[in-house]
């Protein structure tokens, strides 16, 4: 499949998910998204309504809500309440963090029950489940993928972007083998070059969670490649 710049934009969810983000940064974030027209955008929960209001007339830009972010250790009841709040305020999709401790403890039924409760609460809204692969062994990643696939969520997502270890091609390969095309893959965490983006895309990734500056740099790389060679991939 040949990609153009719009194809790349429509695979990117841009995020500004630091704990010390200011309102002025959010305003600048909104301006840049309106300029580049990325697929979706995420901020910390207290600012989500600000994004929804900013993009209410931009039907091509989705606003997502982060559930149980960044640890996944919230109670299921808290996650369900977050989902309900995001939907009521007008969010278009949801990214939740799996209970990482449950997964690493072998409490697979509990981890799956947690996700299924969020799936029910999401009422058909697109749900992506974050594994935080940099904290997991390959076997734990595979088991996490199995849990997510069984839960009814649409995507498995690699990470929050809050750990120092980036998502690697190996992580994507492990996930790809584990899901057997049952669900889709979103890669996030340390993706900051067009080459990495394209390599992950070739492995089956269809959505990417990327910080705004890195996303803009990837677009510029793609523009240069298109100008020099006539194609991106």
CB-facing half-sphere around the CA of 33: CA atoms within 13 A? 31
Q: Is 95 a catalytic residue?
A: yes
Helices (H), 72-128: 76-89, 100-105, 108-122
Q: Is 202 a catalytic residue?
A: no
Residue spans of beta strands (DSSP E) within 3-87: 12-16, 40-43, 62-67
Q: Is 157 a catalytic residue?
A: yes
Quote the DSSP letter at residue 181: T
Measured between alpha carbons, how far is 192 from 12 in angstroms, rounded to an integer?
12
Which one of the listed residues 9, 95, 114, 143 is annotated catalytic? 95
Measured between alpha carbons, how far is 95 from 221 in angstroms, rounded to an integer?
27
Helices (H), 152-193: 169-179
Which one of the listed residues 9, 128, 143, 157 is annotated catalytic? 157
Closest CA to 121 of 160, 85, 71: 85
Measured between alpha carbons, how far is 223 from 232 in angstroms, rounded to an integer?
8
CB-facing half-sphere around the CA of 47: CA atoms within 13 A? 20
Place of tokens 């039924």: 109
Which one of the listed residues 9, 79, 143, 186 is annotated catalytic? 186
Measured between alpha carbons, how far is 222 from 151 in angstroms, rounded to an integer?
36
Active site residues: 95, 157, 186
């Amino acid at each position: 499949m040949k990609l153009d710049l719009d194809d790349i934009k429509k695979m990117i969810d841009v995020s500004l998910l630091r704990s010390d983000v200011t309102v002025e940064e959010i305003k600048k974030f909104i301006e840049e998204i309106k300029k580049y027209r990325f697929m979706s955008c995420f901020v910390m929960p207290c600012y989500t309504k600000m994004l929804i209001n900013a993009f209410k007339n931009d039907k091509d830009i989705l606003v997502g809500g982060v559930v149980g972010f960044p640890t996944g250790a919230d109670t299921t009841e808290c996650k369900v309440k977050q989902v309900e709040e995001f939907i009521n305020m007008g969010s278009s999709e949801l990214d939740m963090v799996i209970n990482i401790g449950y997964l690493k403890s072998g409490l697979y039924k509990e981890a799956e029950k947690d996700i299924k409760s969020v799936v029910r609460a999401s009422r058909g809204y697109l749900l992506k489940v974050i594994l935080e692969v940099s904290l997991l062994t390959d076997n734990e990643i595979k088991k996490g993928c199995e849990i997510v696939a069984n839960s009814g969520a649409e995507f498995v997502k690699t990470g929050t972007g809050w750990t120092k270890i980036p998502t690697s091609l190996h992580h994507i390969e492990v996930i790809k083998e584990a899901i057997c095309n049952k669900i889709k893959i979103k890669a996030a965490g340390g993706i900051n070059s067009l080459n990495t983006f394209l390599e992950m895309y070739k492995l089956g990734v269809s959505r990417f969670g990327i910080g705004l500056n890195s996303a803009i740099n990837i677009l510029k790389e793609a523009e240069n490649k298109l100008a020099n060679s006539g194609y991106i991939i």
